[in-house]
Chains A and B, each alone.
Chain A
């Protein structure tokens, strides 16, 4: 547990360091994810060292979005004033993205198998 957490936090720290030094528009946690994958591929980190902690964190991934979601309270007025524009574009855009990625990926996979 402590080993897994240490590894994850070291990757996060390195990721944040890289993002800061190179002033990248990508946040440190995403770079940390790439660092962890690379460390696993290079054998610097073993799967069984991080797997239990990673599984635990990912099991509750959705819960972590609750506090910023409750923050919607602060934007009641803005959202009320533009609810149609925001609502319609969110729903339509989300459906289009789901369809584009899902169908395109499936098409490319099938074409390759034929």
Chain B
């Protein structure tokens, strides 16, 4: 029995079935906090704890699912191509918005964590939270943070952005589909993009564009901004 519970097949089957059920629940009640990813993650955590399955055993199967992130990011090139006209027309505005979002995102994530007393390791691991998982992990690995902690933080950020993003944007009066998509992708990477795709094709394509550009900008700016921030914090608390 134990062999079956710790097999990759068990991990894949339970992940797919749980996600399918979570999607049904989301479609039925359509309440933002019932986000299918959030529900699935919580349910699987409970299942692993309950059956005492170590995460490593789950990951032996889970890796076959998360592997598809690579091809899926490449597939974002299709909606990007389909919206090339908009991108050409509004290229400068789009670049400015994402640049501002990227820099402010790194500064606020790392800055607030530092001000609230997080250790340097956690500050480094949090800084690229809005970039997509592989980019964020790559950045943190180079800066000697904890890449797997970053992966977890990136997913929390993504779920958070997907859940509260549309609400926050509506409250702020953001009605432009381009602005909506860019904000979702810049704040919440692939999970924000998945949510933006629910709103419409334009929102989804712009979110994919923001995911791409924000990822590149985050890779460039995180090392520079972190150096300044960490030096400032170490001066404050020697």
A residues sitting closer than 8 Å to B (CB atoms) are 5, 8-9, 11-12, 15, 25-30, 32-37, 40-41, 47, 50-51, 53-55, 57-75, 78-79, 82, 84-86, 88-106, 108-109, 112
Contacts and interface: CB of A to CB of B under 8 A. Distances in A.
Interface residues of B, number: 111
Given A33-B77, A58-B79, A85 B122 contact: yes
B134 interface: yes
Residue picked from A9, A28, A35, A100, most chain B C-beta under 10 Å: A100
Interface in B48-107: 48-49, 55, 58-59, 62-63, 65-66, 68-82, 84, 90, 93-94, 96-98, 100-101, 104-105
B131 to A, nearest CB: 10
Contacts of B220: 25
A36 B130 contact: no
Contacts of B116: 84-85, 88-89
Nearest to B215: A30
B28 interface: no
Contact of B190 (A61, A73, A86, A99): A61
A39 to B, nearest CB: 8
A70 B55 contact: yes
26 contacts: A28-B70, A29-B69, A30-B134, A30-B135, A32-B70, A33-B74, A33-B75, A33-B77, A54-B75, A67-B58, A70-B58, A72-B155, A73-B55, A89-B113, A92-B108, A93-B130, A94-B130, A97-B186, A97-B187, A98-B164, A98-B172, A99-B172, A101-B100, A101-B179, A102-B180, A109-B90
A68 B112 CA distance: 24
Nearest to B141: A25
Residue picked from B82, B90, B158, B187, most chain A C-beta under 10 Å: B187
B65 A63 contact: yes
B6 interface: no
Interface in B158-172: 158-162, 164-165, 168-169, 172
A55 B27 CA distance: 20
B216 interface: yes
B153 A90 contact: yes
A-B pairs, top 4 by smallest CB distance, nearest first, are A67-B62, A36-B77, A89-B112, A102-B183
B97 A67 contact: no
A83 to B, nearest CB: 10
Interface string B175-189: 110111011101110
